[in-house]
Amino acid sequence: MPSKLDSMTHLKNISLTDFKSYASLKLSFHEKLNILVGQNGVGKTNLLEAIYWLLTGKSLQGHSERHAIRYGSEGWSVEGEIAEEERLHHVRCAFYPKQDRKAVFIDGSRVERLLDYYGRFPVVSFTPNDIDLIREAAEQRRRTMDAFFAQLSQEYAVHLVQYHALLRRRNALLKQWREQHAPDVALLEVFHMRMEQEAYPLYDLRRRFTGELNPLVSFYYEKLSGGKEFIKIEYRSQLSEASLQQLWQESLPTDLKMGFTSKGIHRDDWLLLLNDVPMKWSSSQGQRKTFLVALKLAMSDLLFRRKQQNPLLLLDDIFDKLDAERVSALLQLVRQQRLGQVFITDTEPERMQRLLAESHLPGALFEVKQGRAVQL
């Protein structure tokens, strides 16, 4: 019987040119587990960043293209081979600002609209910054929601980008009207009509996807923590309480005063509950990190269920603050097929070597030093 592993989407190799600290780097990866070890600041995260650019055309850390240019060079490129079922794709993401805008190529042909590339090779990441999901304002949770749902559904991505393009224009109108004259009601109605057409599909998809995610998050949280606690993500939207027309009608005087749109789908949030109490108030650091890992595993699982394609998992600095039991529970989960190819960074080579040996996981260990990386 052919093993499922053979058909799993995975990154076979990568080649970096003038990307961050790497002048030139070529690496071949293991199809299941890849562990990058090295001290803080040597460029482990930069490798994950390069992989993320290659798979999505975007930055993992929210940086600009320019930010990734190695000091003194003209631009950068990341290329690699992605195995997908029986096919091998050559993918390249490049940024040379003097010649061109950022470009992504699959098998030699340029992707015309980068929005169409996003989600083509699904990827789920965990970075230390994800703790913001629990303690910061709604924006960070919305970003996570959007970045994830847009990978799940092209339809979602298009509605989202359209809605925000319209929202920017509505906000510009509000600012102008603040300084000038009374609002042009007909024009405002045009924007409301068009924003509604984008917002309601987003609302439905957010509700549906959150519903599908919930049992998976519970499942992984239980696996990681050994049970006893109850996790829930609640989708919160002003649209559940009133129609957009009502919301905008009510908020218009305020919006005109402030010069921006105070209500709408762009204010949605996730309420994260641990035993029915918001996590923000009550959870320990271990619980938070376990929740975040469970969330990422659940996202990965849902991507697989919906797209029949294994997402790649990028786990940056994940073992810090997790106890040994949770770490080994996590590695057991990684052994499961549907978690696909995994990249993990850590600072302690001994710990990782021991973990690899104990968990009997097939994988490769890489040592990362300033501007270099070698397989051990």
Q: Which residue, 58 or 70, has its beta carbon nearer to other proteins?
A: 58
Q: Is 157 in the site for other proteins (CB under 8 A)?
A: yes
> For 57-184, where are the alpha helices, taking DSSP H only?
114-117, 132-135, 138-152, 154-179
User: Residue 167 in contact with residue 266, Cβ under 8 Å?
Assistant: yes
Residue 266, SS3 per DSSP: helix
Q: Which residue, 69 or 83, has its beta carbon nearer to other proteins?
A: 69
Residues in contact with 356: Cβ distance below 8 Å, sequence separation at least 6, in sequence order: 33, 35, 363, 365
Q: Is 129 in the site for other proteins (CB under 8 A)?
A: yes
Q: How far is the CB of 307 from other proteins (least distance, A)?
A: 17
Q: Is 78 in the site for other proteins (CB under 8 A)?
A: no
Select the span of 85-93, 172-180, 207-215, 358-366 touching other proteins (CB under 8 A).
172-180
CA-to-CA dists, residue 224 to 79, 144, 274, 306, 348, angstroms = 35, 21, 14, 23, 22
Residues 315-334 touching other proteins, rule: CB under 8 A, are: 320-321
Buried b (16+ CB within 10 A) or exposed e, 193-221: ebbbebbebbbebbeebbeebbebbbbbb
Report d(CA 188, CA 283) in Å as an integer. Answer: 44
Q: Is 190 in the site for other proteins (CB under 8 A)?
A: yes
Residues 196-235 touching other proteins, rule: CB under 8 A, are: none
Query: Which of 4, 90, 110, 168 lies at the binding interface for other proteins (CB under 8 A)?
Result: 168
Q: Which residue, 83 or 117, has its beta carbon nearer to other proteins?
A: 117
Q: Is 2 in the site for other proteins (CB under 8 A)?
A: no
Query: Which of 5, 23, 106, 131 lies at the binding interface for other proteins (CB under 8 A)?
Result: 131
Size of the site for other proteins (CB under 8 A): 51
Q: Which residue, 69 or 160, has its beta carbon nearer to other proteins?
A: 160
- The length of the chain in residues reads 376
CB neighbour class for 123 (10 Å; exposed up to 12, middle 13-18, buried from 19): buried
Q: How far is the CB of 87 from other proteins (least distance, A)?
A: 26
Count of other CB atoms within 10 angstroms of residue 20: 20
User: Residue 17 in contact with residue 96, Cβ under 8 Å?
Assistant: no
Buried b (16+ CB within 10 A) or exposed e, 293-326: bbbbbbbbbbbbeebebbbbbbbbbbbeebeeeb
Residues 260-289 touching other proteins, rule: CB under 8 A, are: 285, 288-289
**Contact string 27-66 vs other proteins (x = CB under 8 A):** -------------------------------xxxxxxx--
Q: Which residue, 8 or 368, has its beta carbon nearer to other proteins?
A: 368
Q: Which residues bind other proteins (CB under 8 A)?
A: 58-64, 113-115, 118, 125, 127-129, 131-132, 139-140, 143-144, 146-147, 150, 157-158, 160-162, 164-166, 168-170, 172-173, 176, 184, 186-187, 189-191, 193-194, 285, 288-289, 320-321
